[in-house]
Structure formats: structure tokens, C-alpha cells
Structure 1
Amino acid sequence: MNFGFTEEQEMLRDQVRRFMHEDCAMTTVREIVSAKPAFSPPLWKKMAELGWLGLIIPEEFGGVGLRWIDLTVVLEETARGLSPLPLVSNTLAAAALLRCGDAAQRQAWLPGLADGSCVATLALYDEPNWIDADAVTLAAGDGGLCGSKPYVPDAGSADLFVVAFRAGAEHNELKLALLERDTKGLSVTDQPIIDRTKPMGTLVLDNVSLDPDRVLTLAEADLTYLTDCGAVAVTAEMVGAADAALEITTSYAKERVQFGNLIGKYQGVKHRLADMYVDIESFRSLLYYAAWTVDDAPEELSRAVSLAKGYASDAFARIGIDAVQLHGAIGFTAEYDIQLYLKRSKWARPMFGDTDYHYDRVAELGGL
């Protein structure tokens, strides 16, 4: 099995890296996140023109028709610069439509997700740290959907919400509802969060009527698949952000003088940088295999992604802490970018399952 990237994939990586350097540099990122919502229509349009929004969407629906391993290339590089744009949310919503939607629903919604005219997000669970079918508690009543969905990624900029809920007389059926932002009874409130480059919100539903043409059947296997895809996407972003944090910290160690020497000369600094590098390369390799399984070995996806996300969740958190500490007191200041990577590590850690969840899952899948 050859995990070397093709020439086309490396060209894609270079394209994304140029975009982040020229169009979405850190000064631009800071400007975007200071606004409400934290969104840039011109940059989103450019992403669409470059084909990234429809990367995994088949060509028949206006997408590029590539694979998840190609998507990881894009997500690594956008996360390297802490892009605040809702690329992951939009992609996961597309994955839900591809997995659970019928032909008419795919044709109605996927072209808009691919060309950027519609920004979508996926809202699965009702508990922030509980990954299980039972954690979908929002239920449809006689008057429609009534309740809330907390911690919905990119809720402030989304035009379309793909919302998991329970239906049936005993609420034992899982469904997905396609709800547009202007739906009567639907409102969004911002949620305070540590990482402003990853805005989240609460979706409030007050007797929202359900159109049968906009309801998708969600089997438990589908819920697991979408959760696994989310974990793959977040881990890809963790690889890119962790790599950038290491690069920034290494550069600082080559410039900062203390006790008459560059701090990079001291073994205490060298060893921590080396540990960061080993951790990044380890969960990078696990990620690439997990991304490959999405399309080529779906029966191995759950175990593969749990190994990757389980490792990355704790490792990236350590990397974020070490990166700030190696900068000294200045690393904690808002003016320095390195603290933004620590915040990203804190945001990513519980998303789609933390280390405990994923390692327990690996043990369970292994028969322990």
C-alpha cells in the first residue's frame, strides 16, 4: 500500500498553501473572527471557485468527485493557518446528504453546497461530550420540532442546518431534517467558545414544521459513519495546526537568546521539540490511513479513525501547551499567534470524541 501523495495531490497542497498565505493570512483571520458572524463571503466564493467546497461531491452534482484522502490535504493546509471558514461543516453536511439523502434531495441541495451559494452545517448530538445514538434527544412532536441543538459548528454563518432528531410514536426512529435559516420558529444564538476561529452556536427550535421532502432516514450505522467522518476531518485539521505550532516554535527557538545563547541550543528545548515532531508524525500517519478507509475500506474506518483521533486529542493538547511554554511569557499574549494554536487544540480535543472515548472504542472493537 503506497501512502505517498500523487503529483496532483501535492499540487493541490501547494494551491491551498498559497491561498492561505496570500488571501487568508493570520491578519485576515483575526479580522474575520472579530466580526459577527465570523465569515468572509469573498474568501468563501474563492474556495468554491477552486473546487474545495465540492471536493467529495460527485461531478453529477457540481462537485469535483475526489476522495477523503484528497480532502485531508486541503484541511491540513487550511488548519495550518487556522482558517475560520466553515469548510468542515459544509463538507460533513454534504456527506450526510450523500449517505442518507434520496436522488431528489441530493439534486436539490448538493449543487448549492458545491458552488458556495449555500453554507451548510451538521448538528448531530444534543450532549457535547456524549457520542452515542442515545445522545440524540431532540424529538419531533405533534407541533413539529421543539427544543434546541447546542454546540452547532458555524451556526452563525450557515444557511442550511442538517439536524438529527427522533421521530415515531416512541421516538425510536432517527431522522435528519433539512432546515433553512429562515424557517419559521428557528433561531440561532452564539455560544461563547475558547477558539474564535471555530465559532459555534445553539439552534433553537420552536415548533418547527417538518416538510416530508426535507426529512432523511438516519440509521445508527449512518450516525456512526458521519461521526467517524467528522473525526477524520477534525484530525486532519489537528495535523495541520500542530505542524504549524511546531514550525512557529522551532523558528522562535532559533531566534530567542537567553543566557547568551539561542534557546534552541539547550537540550531541554530540543527534546520537547523532538517529542512534538514524533507525536505529529505518528498521528499524521494514523490519519492518512483513516482517511483512506473512508472510501476504500469502510469496514475498517471506525477502528482506524479512533486510533488517529484518540492519539491526536491528547498529543495536540500537549503540543499546544509546550509551544506556548517554550515561548515564555510572551506566548500567552494576544498579540502572539502561538496562543491561537493552543486554543485550537482545546477546541479539537472533545470534538467527535476525546481520547478516552476513542481508546475505549478501540478496545471494544478489538473484543476487550
Structure 2
Amino acid sequence: MKLVLTEEQRELRDTVRSFLAAASPLSEVRRAADSETGYDPAVYRRLNGELGLAGLIVPQEHGGAGAGYAELAVVLEETGAALLPGPFLATTLAAILLTELEDKETLPGIAAGTTVATVALDGDRALNGAEAEVVLAVDGTRVRAVRGGARTPLTVLDPTRRQARVDLREGEAVSAPEAALARARDLFAVAVAAEQLGVLRASLEAIVAYAKVRVAFGRFIGSYQGVKHRLADMHCKLEQADSIVRHAAWAADEAPSELPLAAALAQAHVGRACFEVARDSLLLHGGIGFTWEHDAHLYYKRAKADEVLLGPPRIHRARLADLLEL
């Protein structure tokens, strides 16, 4: 088992991080979130054209890079840390499902960056459902690819990621192997946990930087014992989450039999840890953290939205307990 990034994975991380810092800083995230589309299509085209990230895990025979989930986790951690708006996570989830179903129709468009797709995760609600050309709906062991139908934008907590209610009656449903659907759900959990790891890391980095410059009662607030202890606890959560995500991504690539347990642990632990760190980061920023002008509340909202994206934490804890026969 390898929990440390390889040289190639570190290079991928650095490339994505530098690209997002230049093309989608938080000031641009705010502007894009307030725009008509909710994201910058030009950034998305560059993300897929220059870096080829939409096709990262798509098999090579369908035009993708055929990379592993360890590489995908590296990328999602960076897009999470940058609060990247738009349909990247949504299309990634669709690519995961379609890859497991060995699709030949939609994957080439996803790999080329020309097709925006998503998965209906909660009934008829879907991430970026209004922007997606293809919405995949799973009902038991049947999957329906919806390419038309009504799309109704929803009011959401996280302003950087939109959702919509989709009319799922269009499109023909086809049977899918139960094992493939189960693996896809586990891979969804790994992908979301990787993004949560990025949100957690960025939230901690922001409050550590603030604690070094904010002065209260003549002292930097980072010198106060109460703040230092809180920051240390947050750092421990980051280290634990990092190990859990790396292990889950490794299991997805190298140990399929370990994936269900690793995926359940990832969602049971990382989602809550991410929210707690984002919450504490906001609180330690004081009154300024609650203002619209500050970025802390954006991380807080993304953390809470991600925590319940695949269902409330109690569902993942219950599944983890079942897998452990507790």
C-alpha cells in the first residue's frame, strides 16, 4: 500500500494547483458564481483542453488518459481547495458511472471536454443539472440517460455549485450489473472525499495564516493557548483525512475487495472532519469570517454541502458498522 504521492502525482498536483491559482482565484470564483452560468466556461475549456482533466479516468480507448483513482484524488483535492465552480465534479461522477458500465456513447465526449454530464444523486436533483447535456439516473439496477426534459434550478446553500431538479421521464432505462453500480457508488464516495480533503486543507491554511497576523490585546492570536490547541486539533484531522483518502484511492486502483470499507470510512470520517475544520476556521476568524466579503463562509458552505451530498453522515456510519459487523 502506498499513501505517499509519487513524483508524477506531485507534478500533477503542482500543475493543477498553479493553473487554478492563475485561472480561478477566489475573486474569480465569486464573479463566476454570480454570473448567469454559475461558472466560467473558458476556465472549464482550458481545464479540459490544456490539462485533459475531464478525461483523466476515462479509458484510453474512449479518448481519455486512463489514469487511476489515486491521480483523480490528487486533482479533486486541488479543485476542492480552490472551490472550483462549475460541473467538474458532476462530470467526474458521470464518468465514473459510465466507465463502470463500459459505455461507448457518452465517454468520448466527456474525455474531449465537449460533453457536460451529471448524476442524479438524490431523487430528481442533480449537481449542475441545468448545465448538463446528459443526466444519469439510477433506479435500482436500471440506469436512464436523460438528454432533454425540464430543468428547474434550485436554491442551494453553496453558491459556487448549482443544482437543478430534472425531469427524469425521458430516455430509455437500461439494465446495469448490480456489482458495477455498487462499485460506482463506492467510487463516488472516494471522489467526494478527495474534494473534501482539499476544502479541509484550504480552510486550515487560511486560519493558520490569519492567526499569524491578527493581533488582539497586543498579541498575535496564534500565540494564545486556546487558539493553538484548536489549530493543532484541526491539523490532526487533516492528517487523518489525508491518510483515509489516500488509502481509499489506493483501494480503488489496487484492492477492489477493500474498496467498500475504505469508501464507507472516507465518507463517514472525512465529511464530518471537513465540516468541523471549515466551521472552526470560520469561528476563529471572528466577526469578519461571517461577512459576505470574506472567503471563510464559502468554504463553510461547500463543506456542509459536500457532507450531505451522498446522504447524511449517519448513512455512511451505519454502512461502515455493517461492513465491520458491529
TM bucket normalised to smaller = over 0.9
Say if 2:119 is the partner of 1:119.
no
Whole-Å Cα distance in 2 between the matches of residues 9 and 119 of structure 1?
A: 26
Partner of 1:145: none
Deviations 1:278-313 (CA, angstroms, capped at 9, x unpaired): 001101101111111112111111111111211112
Partner of 1:235: 193
Say if 2:132 is the partner of 1:158.
yes
* Helix, strand or coil at the partner of 1:208: coil
User: Relative to structure 2, which stretch is displaced further, 23-32 or 315-324?
Assistant: 315-324
Deviations 1:324-343 (CA, angstroms, capped at 9, x unpaired): 11111110000000111111
CA contact (8 A) 1:310 1:354 kept: no
Whole-Å Cα distance in 1 between the matches of residues 45 and 92 of structure 2?
A: 15
Deviations 1:56-98 (CA, angstroms, capped at 9, x unpaired): 0111111111000000110111111100121221122112222
Aligned partner of 2:195: which letter?
A: E
TM-score (norm 1): 0.85
Whole-Å Cα distance in 2 between the matches of residues 94 and 217 of structure 1?
A: 18
Whole-Å Cα distance in 1 between the matches of residues 297 and 171 of structure 2?
A: 43
Say if 2:299 is the partner of 1:341.
yes
Say if 2:145 is the partner of 1:178.
yes
* Helix, strand or coil at the partner of 1:123: strand
Say if 2:12 is the partner of 1:15.
no
Partner of 2:170: 208
TM-score (norm 2): 0.96
Q: How many positions carry a matched residue from both structures? A: 325
Q: C-alpha displacement at 1:208, in angstroms?
A: 2.6
Alignment RMSD (CA, Å): 1.5
Partner of 2:54: 53
Aligned partner of 1:271: which letter?
A: H
Whole-Å Cα distance in 1 between the matches of residues 30 and 111 of structure 2?
A: 26
Give the structure with the higher percent helix: 2
CA contact (8 A) 1:313 1:354 kept: no
1:257-272 counterparts in 2 under 5 A?
257-272=215-230
Partner of 1:39: 39
Percentage identity across aligned positions?
Answer: 38
Give the structure with the higher percent strand: 1
Partner of 1:144: none
Whole-Å Cα distance in 2 between the matches of residues 330 and 317 of structure 1?
A: 19
Name which of 351, 361, 366 aligns with 2:309.
351
Deviations 1:253-298 (CA, angstroms, capped at 9, x unpaired): 1111000100000010001111111001101101111111112111
* Helix, strand or coil at the partner of 1:189: strand
Partner of 2:78: 77
Q: C-alpha displacement at 1:42, in angstroms?
A: 1.1
CA contact (8 A) 2:145 2:171 kept: no
* Helix, strand or coil at the partner of 2:276: helix
Instruction: Give the structure with higher Rg (CA).
Output: 1
* Helix, strand or coil at the partner of 2:143: strand
User: Relative to structure 2, which stretch is displaced further, 67-76 or 82-91?
Assistant: 82-91
Partner of 2:267: 309
Q: C-alpha displacement at 1:228, in angstroms?
A: 1.4
CA contact (8 A) 2:33 2:85 kept: yes
Aligned partner of 1:281: which letter?
A: E
Say if 2:157 is the partner of 1:194.
yes
Say if 2:100 is the partner of 1:99.
yes
CA contact (8 A) 2:59 2:99 kept: no
Aligned partner of 2:170: which letter?
A: V
* Moved segments of 4+, more than 6 Å: none
CA contact (8 A) 2:9 2:74 kept: yes
Whole-Å Cα distance in 2 between the matches of residues 302 and 2 of structure 1?
A: 18
Q: C-alpha displacement at 1:123, in angstroms?
A: 1.4
* Helix, strand or coil at the partner of 1:314: helix
* Helix, strand or coil at the partner of 1:5: coil
Name which of 241, 249, 253 aligns with 1:291.
249
